Amino acid sequence: MSKVTLAIVAAAGAATGAVATAALWSTKKETPVPVVTTTTTTTTGLQKAPPPPPLPVGRHPHAPPHKALVDPNGLFQYGFPGPVNDLRPAASLTSSFDRERRNPHWVAEHITPESLSENNADRKHSVFVEDVAIPEMFRAKLKDYFRSGYDRGHQVPAADAKWSQEAMDDTFALSNMCPQVGDGFNRDYWAHFEDFCRRLTKHYPSVRIVTGPLYLPKKEADGKWRVSYEVIGSPPNVAVPTHFYKVIFAEDGQQGGKVALGAFVLPNAKIPNNKPLTDFEVPLSIVERASGLEFATKLEPARRRSLCQEVNCSLIVKEYAQRQKSFGNNQ
């Protein structure tokens, strides 16, 4: 099995359960079914015309079609059950929301050297808010995170939206949040990973990033695989993801140009800062199978490049852990 397929299994202590991805989604070639060809031999001479096709049993050939006895679509006169994705286009991000788990399905952002060079916003002026565009019974609430033991983890980080205060404020809606482990992840390894994404703008003029949660199965003592995750809130509302993914599109800036793709899956757990980022690199198909999403159906193979073959996919561990922890005091 290749390194990339096993990547989710990396960091055994931190990435417990990620082995499920490799085990469940390692593909096998199917044995082709042999094709049997039947040859019919005919003889020349006087032949009988083939019999006419049989008429439907119990129906006159000129009878009108049956009237439908049921109308399942009649349900829609009362409303459409869903699922509803609550698409949110904002200044700094676009997201799709999962009403069942009260987390986003995905959040997309776009960063450029120009957008990151602006500094027109201050995080201290932003506050966490509930997304009132989502119906109250389905939205994540501030009280759900209170004393939960988890950070309100940005999917699009505030540091990527410094170009305006409005853009930064958009990142503080709870529809851009998931419960994340604080020390060792949100305030450490994950923050360094976000910094890696920003540094890509030194190599590419345009970088698009999709981030979201995963809920992966884990093999238990009885040998069976089960999906299990904590739910926080009172009553329990918000699911705690087992993992998070990022899919990166690093564009060369040319119309119809090359796009370097990178896909990563990290456990929602403490990860040592010296753990190589490439240990969490996976094929894009792994993220798609795990999430039920598709990310690059319109990107032709001829335009695709591998991100970690073009740049050094590694973290720079800066001495800003204490600053991250101070932010965490407000989590």
Q: In what order do the strands lie in the sheet with 304-306?
A: 88-89, 94-98, 103-111, 206-214, 243-251, 259-267, 304-306
**Helix (H/G/I), strand (E/B), else coil: 192:** helix
Residue 282, C-beta contacts closer than 8 angstroms, at least 6 positions apart: 4, 5, 7, 8, 21, 263, 264, 265
Could you confirm whether 154 is annotated as catalytic?
Answer: yes
Contact 268, 180 (CB under 8 A): yes
Among 154, 192, 203, 243, the active-site one is 154
| CA distance linking residue 297 with residue 102, whole number of Å | 27
Contact 158, 170 (CB under 8 A): no
| CA distance linking residue 93 with residue 161, whole number of Å | 9
| CA distance linking residue 279 with residue 13, whole number of Å | 13
Q: What is the DSSP letter of 52?
A: P
Is 186 annotated in a binding site? The answer is: yes
Angle at 270 between CA 265 and CA 274, to 5 degrees: 80
Name beta bridge partners: 249.
208, 261
Residues of each annotated binding site for Mg(2+): 186
Residues of each annotated binding site: 186
Catalytic positions, written as ranges: 154
